[in-house]
Chains A and B, each alone.
Chain A
Amino acid sequence: EVQLVESGGDLVKPGGSLRLSCAASGFTFSNAWMSWVRQAPGKGLEWVGRIKSKTDGGTTDYAAHVKGRFTLSRDDSKNMLYLQMNSLKTEDTAVYYCTTDVGGDWLEHWGQGTLVTVSS
C-alpha cells in the first residue's frame, strides 16, 4: 500500500524558513516523480512544484509564486521528499500535500498534508 506522510508544518513568522518532509513507502520511490500541492484556508488546490526521478534527470519545476523561494529535494536512500521554504509570506499559509506525480500527467497518491501557518 502506498503511504505518504508529511511532517514539519509549523507556525513561522513572515520572512522565516521551514523544511517540510514527506516519508514515502509502498512503492519504488527512486523511480517516482514527486510533487507538492497546497491548499490555503478556504481556497482550492494549487500546485507548488515537482521533482523528477534521478533516472529522468532529477530536475525540478516550480510554480511562479514560489520560484526562487522554495526548493524541492529528495533522498532516495531514505525514501524521503523535502520542501525547503524560505522567505515565507503570509500567503504561503496552507496545508501542504506530498503527491506521486505520474510522468507529469496526473497526481496519483496523496498524503494527508501538513499545516504551515505564516503569521507574526
Chain B
Amino acid sequence: QPVLTQPPSASASLGASVTLTCTLSSGYSNYKVDWYQQRPGKGPRFVMRVGTGGIVGSKGDGIPDRFSVLGSGLNRYLTIKNIQEEDESDYHCGADHGSGSNFFWVFGGGTKLTVL
C-alpha cells in the first residue's frame, strides 16, 4: 500500500513563492494525489488533483491562479506564488488505493505553512 510523506513544516515570506512536496512510496509513481488546504479551526478544502502529467481535472472552487501543481516520479508538488497571509494553513495530500472492500484512502502527515 502507498505511503505519502510530507515535510511537517514550511515557511515563506509574504509575496514570495513556496513549493510543498508530497512523496509517494516506491512503486506508486503512477498514482494521482489530491491536495487539501486546511485553515486553522476549519475543515479541509480541495485545492486540486495532480498526476505525473500535471493537474487532473479542475481546481477547487475559489482556488486562485497563484496555486499550481506538478508531478514528477514519486513526487507531487504544490506551488504557491505571491504568498498571501490567507495561505497560512496546513496542506494535506492524499491518494486512493485498491477497490471494493480492499479500497482505502491514505493521507500524508500534512505540512504546516507559515507566512513570515
Q: Do A and B come from one complex?
A: no
